[in-house]
Each structure stands twice: as C-alpha cells, then as structure tokens.
Amino acid sequence: MGGAAALTARSLTERLKAEAYGLGFDAAGVARLGEPATRAAFEAWLAAGHQGSMAYLEGEGAALRRDSRLPHPGATHALVVAASYGGRAPAGPVARYARGDDYHVVLRERVRELHGWLEREVGRPVNARPYVDSGPILERDLAQRAGLGWVGKNTMLIVPGAGSHLFLASLFVDVALEEDAPFEADRCGTCTRCLDACPTGALPSPRVLDATRCISYLTIEHRGPIPPALREGVGGLLYGCDICNDVCPWTVKFAREAMAPEFAPRALFAESHDRDGTRALARSICMMDAADYAAAFKGSAIKRAKLWMLQRNACVVLGNVGTDEDLAVLEAMREHEHEVVREHAEWALTRLRRTIRAPV
C-alpha cells in the first residue's frame, strides 16, 4: 500500500511538473513545508538592520517566515517554479523584470492554472494558495529546498542552465507530492564578481545583502532621500538594478529569453539603453503628472514606486549622466511640491554644473 501511494505521489508530481513546463516555466520542483534552512541567517540579517525601512519583514512578517507551514494553514507541500524574465535583453536604466507587465498578475494566473489542473487530476477541491513574491515566505530558501538551484553570493537563486534572471512563484497545497532533493551544491566557487561589481557596496560579504545600500531598495522601496554618499553609485539606474546578476558567469552563459510575451519591454523602455536614451527617459519621468504616470505604468510593477519617487530617482540619474541640455528640467524640479524631489534636484544641478563646468 505504501509503495502504491508513493508511486501515485510520484506520478502526480511528474505530471504536475510537466504541466508547469508546458505553461512555459523554466524550472519546477517540490518541497515539503517547514522551518527554512536559512532561518538563523534571516534572523541575523534582521538583527543587523539590513532590511532598512521594509517593516513588512519584521514582526508578524518575520514570524511567518520562520516556518513555511504558517502562511497558509493546512498546506503541506509546495510546487516551486521559476520563470525567466529575459536576461538576454540589454542592460538599461530600468531593471529587466520591470519593463513589461506586472509579473505578480501574469504568474499568479499561470499558477492558478496549475491549481485547477491539480483539482481535476485528484478529483476533489484542493486547499491551495499561489504565491508570487507577495507572501511572507523565504522564497529562495524554498526554491533551493525544492531542488531548483542554489543561492549565489549575490543572494539570488541561480538555476543551472537558466541563470538568475528569474521570477519565483509557488503553489502551496494540501496534497502529498513527491519531494525533490534539496540543491546542496555551491557552484559559486571562489568567484566574487558580484561583490566586486556592486557600485554601492551592498554586498559586504558572500550571501549578505545590506538593503540600505542596494540600488534596487533605494530606487523602489525607500520612501525617503537617497543618502548623498550613495547617489553617484546609482549612476544611470532609474528603477532597480541588474548589475550583480549581469556579472555572474552562470547568468552570462545561461540567461534565457523571457518566458511570456507579457514580459516584453513596453515602448517606453524599448530604446532607453544608452546614455541618451536614459536621459530622455529620466526627463520624461520628470515631466509626468499624475495622469501621465497612471497611463504609462498601468498594469506595471513599476507602480510599486510612487511618481515622486521616480522623479527623485530621475533627478539623481540626470545629475550623474546628464548634459547641459538637462539643466532646464532640473531647474523646474526645484519647484516640485515634494521636498525630497526638490533636494535631489538641487544636488543634481550642483553635480551636473560641476561636471560640465557651467556657470552657477
């Protein structure tokens, strides 16, 4: 009986994974829910204050992340999947993952399709919940437990044959599935390219990310002024950062095309990869009003950042890569209604004038 049950679980799991691959996912694995292997590291990370102002990672959010059985009561296993968002596309001022439609929506629908398939296959309602970077889960830990890959020195999950330009999603279920062996190997070796390349020093040691220095955090999550000492390091990056992924040999070699057409760059980002394109994009964001912002980023993950935050970022970018043609826009931003934007415009003007040796 036990052998038959195990065979049934194996067969069901194999077919479920096949469905996932059929939907376009680049990797799929199963993990039993429980205490994460990285719980102690997570606690130490919080204690060091590396989460910055991301309060959702503290308190109850931290408590739920200490055991993956807690977020969705009754669930025992998780199907974990990875989806490429197009690591072969050129680097640019907007991180690749955010150039298309909101991945939360796109992938959640795909995972719900897997839920429906599973219910039809087992012939009963399945207590399940999809998670796409939106729940209190240590997702990379769960993915490693499901055998998808290992956590690299840049803290990103690296999947053999696919690199690290990947979204992670999972389906928590109350169905007994056959678990995959955890991915135990560390294939980073002695490489430290990601640590060496970070322009703001956000990776002080292997597998430790100080979010308070990370360009992605500073341009997306942070609701205050970007620390002056870090602004130059932001360079021409308006929203997010791909640097620690781009230099990883595994990603350079194995990055794939985007899983879904919805992840293709919107027209606003299609030609903004060089310096002039970056400047043009920054100027267009500076000139947006609320209606422009809502129209440009409808259905986009970029709405995670408010308009004033994007304009703050745009001022920093123009201060770093602008020319005398951008002075007028920055002058206008000195009159912005938000104090933080005004201060960043002043900083950018001072830096830009010094760079181009324009008269004060």
In a domain, 250, yes or no: no
In a domain, 53, yes or no: yes
pLDDT at 356: 86
Instruction: Let me know whether 351 and 285 are in one domain.
Output: yes
Instruction: Let me know whether 214 and 95 are in one domain.
Output: no
Q: Domain span at residue 15? A: 2-173
In a domain, 179, yes or no: no
Q: Residues 209-250: pLDDT tens digits? A: 999 999 999 999 999 999 999 999 999 999 999 999 999 999
Instruction: Let me know whether 38 and 112 are in one domain.
Output: yes
In a domain, 255, yes or no: no
In a domain, 107, yes or no: yes
Instruction: Let me know whether 166 and 201 are in one domain.
Output: no
Instruction: Let me know whether 122 and 225 are in one domain.
Output: no
Instruction: Let me know whether 97 and 150 are in one domain.
Output: yes
From the candidates 26, 133, 174, 186, which is the catalytic residue? 133
* Res. 186: pLDDT tops 50: yes
State yes or no: is 133 an active-site residue. yes
Q: Residues 279-293: pLDDT tens digits? A: 999 999 999 999 999
pLDDT at 13: 98
Instruction: Let me know whether 199 and 347 are in one domain.
Output: yes
**Mean per-residue pLDDT, 172-187:** 97
Instruction: Let me know whether 166 and 208 are in one domain.
Output: no
CA 307 to chain centre: 19
Share of the chain above pLDDT 90, in %: 94
pLDDT at 360: 47
Number of domains in the chain: 2
Instruction: Let me know whether 156 and 287 are in one domain.
Output: no
Distance CA 13, CA 29 (A): 9
Instruction: Let me know whether 110 and 235 are in one domain.
Output: no
Under the banding of pLDDT at 50, 70 and 90, the label for residue 59 is very high
Under the banding of pLDDT at 50, 70 and 90, the label for residue 6 is very low
* Res. 14: pLDDT tops 50: yes
